[in-house]
């Protein structure tokens, strides 16, 4: 049984030692192959305690997609990379708070140079290359060379790397062939411009299977890893990380109604509050609970009850409706725990209603 807290639910439990363990395993595995890891904190809303644990585990730096998140973590001693493409409207903040940005637009790079000069700062950039997933990156080889040529002449911009991204829009998996293609492109650019990129950033958590099979081409020396650390699994096949932990986050909610009710609604049926026409199976009278967690807190489709044989029937803004099955021991006021997928975790962190508690490392 879960110990009751006075804080009010829902509560997101953040298990810092499990996060530390996942990060350490990945960092060690990568290190032996000459690959450094940036810990990606965006799913945690840039949580400084999580970032601190990643730094302790040995990440090269912290990457996040929101400048507000980087601001929250800025006091930590590490290098911060802004991994969403910069916007004109945020350039000043970005140059101020991020050490490195990922880029694909020459006009944005010019603006970064402008602001970096004004602020008398050096700003580092990684140029993103499109390899087929069709999110960010330069696809056209001529454009890529033009951008690199101009960036190399910028005074306050330092070209530190070249990167690519997979499995975020098109669902394209970074196979070894894809990464070899990327490596060859990088080698050609290095030869053409007589330069060496210090960061050759070959992807995210979807590259974890290749990392563990030690099949990442030698040229690639950097990965940006979020989900594999936070949820202990890769994003290409959703397999667990060998030796990793899946109990990194758990969300707790309280039962605020518990009654036996029919399993099918009665009356004239039309759409529910979210415009869907619900379908019900008649299973007779069931023991059913309402929990104080809903769509304002999590993605209900990405919630997995910790107790076996209880079933989530549905949810709206404020309630989760659960079938308790044969669990006669569960009472009104009890706390039920759930594990979360990435989407649900993201929502839990961004919801102002979800309180956070930490299980510290070594506690």
Ligand X SMILES: *Cc1c(COP(=O)(O)O)cnc(C)c1O
> Cβ closer to ligand X: 216 or 291?
216
What is the smallest separation between the CB atom of 355 and ligand X, expressed in angstroms? Answer: 24
Residue 40: what are its φ and ψ, rounded to 5°?
-100, 120
Helix (H, G, I), strand (E, B) or coil at 296: coil
Indicate which single residue of 15, 205, 300, 351 sits in contact with ligand X (rule: CB under 6 A): 205
| In the complex, residue closest to ligand X by CB | 226
Site for ligand X in 233-262 (CB under 6 A): 235
How far is it, in rounded angstroms, from Cα 202 to Cα 333? 48
Give the residue with the Cβ less far from ligand X, 142 or 213.
213
**Using CA atoms, how far apart are residues 222 and 70, in angstroms rounded to an integer?**
20
Residue 296 C-beta: closest distance to ligand X, Å: 24
Q: C-alpha distances in angstroms, 349 versus 51, 84, 218, 353?
A: 14, 19, 36, 9
Least separation in angstroms between CB 33 and ligand X:
17
Positions 73 through 132 that interact with ligand X (CB under 6 A): 83, 102
Angle at the Cα of 228 from the Cα atoms of 227 and 231, rounded to 5 degrees: 70
Strands 61-64 and 222-225: unpaired
- Mark the segment that binds ligand X (CB under 6 A) among 153-161, 181-189, 227-235, 354-362: 227-235
**Structure tokens, 360:** 């510290």
Catalytic residues: 42
Contact between 40 and ligand X by CB under 6 A: the answer reads yes
**In a 10 Å sphere around its CB, with 0-12 CB exposed, 13-18 middle and 19+ buried, how is residue 356 labelled?**
middle
Backbone angles phi, psi at 141, to 5 degrees: -65, -40
Closest approach, Cβ 22 to ligand X, in A, equals 12
Contact flag: residue 66 with ligand X (CB under 6 A): no
Residue number, 299 or 323, with CB nearest to ligand X: 299
Only segment of 86-94, 180-188, 225-233, 311-319 that touches ligand X (CB under 6 A): 225-233
Residue partners of 175: CB distance under 8 A and separation at least 6: 210
Of 169-177, 186-194, 221-229, 348-356, which segment contacts ligand X by CB under 6 A? 221-229
> Which stretches of 87-203 are DSSP H helices?
91-97, 106-118, 141-152, 176-193
Least spacing, CB of residue 214 vs ligand X, in Å: 19
Binding site for ligand X (CB under 6 A): 40, 42, 65, 83, 102, 165, 204-205, 224-228, 235
């Amino acid at each position: 049984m879960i110990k009751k807290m006075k804080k009010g639910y829902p509560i997101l439990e953040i298990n810092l030692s499990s996060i530390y363990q996942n990060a350490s395993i990945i960092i060690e595995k990568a290190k032996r192959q000459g690959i450094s890891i940036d810990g990606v904190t965006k799913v945690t809303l840039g949580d400084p305690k999580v970032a601190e644990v990643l730094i302790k585990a040995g990440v090269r730096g912290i990457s996040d997609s929101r400048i507000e998140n980087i601001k929250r973590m800025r006091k930590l001693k590490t290098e911060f990379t802004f991994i969403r493409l910069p916007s004109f409207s945020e350039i000043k903040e970005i140059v101020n708070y991020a050490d490195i940005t990922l880029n694909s637009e020459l006009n944005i790079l010019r603006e970064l140079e402008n602001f970096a000069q004004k602020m008398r700062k050096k700003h580092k950039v990684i140029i993103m290359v499109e390899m087929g997933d069709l999110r960010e990156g330069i696809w056209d080889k001529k454009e890529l060379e033009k951008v690199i040529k101009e960036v190399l002449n910028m005074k306050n911009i330092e070209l530190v790397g070249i990167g690519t991204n997979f499995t975020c829009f098109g669902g394209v998996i970074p196979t070894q062939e894809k990464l070899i293609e990327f490596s060859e492109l990088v080698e050609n650019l290095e030869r053409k411009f007589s330069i060496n990129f210090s960061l050759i950033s070959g992807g995210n958590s979807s590259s974890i299977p290749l990392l563990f099979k030690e099949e990442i081409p030698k040229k690639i020396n950097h990965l940006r890893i979020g989900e594999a650390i936070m949820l202990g699994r890769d994003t290409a096949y959703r397999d667990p990380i060998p030796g990793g932990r899946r109990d990194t986050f758990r969300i707790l909610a309280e039962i605020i109604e518990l009654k036996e009710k029919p399993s099918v609604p009665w009356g004239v049926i039309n759409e529910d509050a979210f415009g869907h026409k619900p379908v019900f199976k008649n299973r007779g009278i069931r023991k059913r609970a309402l929990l104080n967690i809903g769509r304002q807190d999590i993605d209900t489709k990405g919630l997995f009850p910790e107790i076996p044989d209880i079933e989530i029937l549905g949810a709206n803004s404020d309630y989760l409706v659960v079938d308790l099955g044969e669990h006669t021991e569960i009472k009104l006021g009890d706390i039920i725990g759930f594990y979360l997928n990435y989407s649900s975790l993201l929502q839990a962190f961004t919801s102002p209603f979800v309180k956070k508690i930490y299980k510290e490392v070594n506690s």
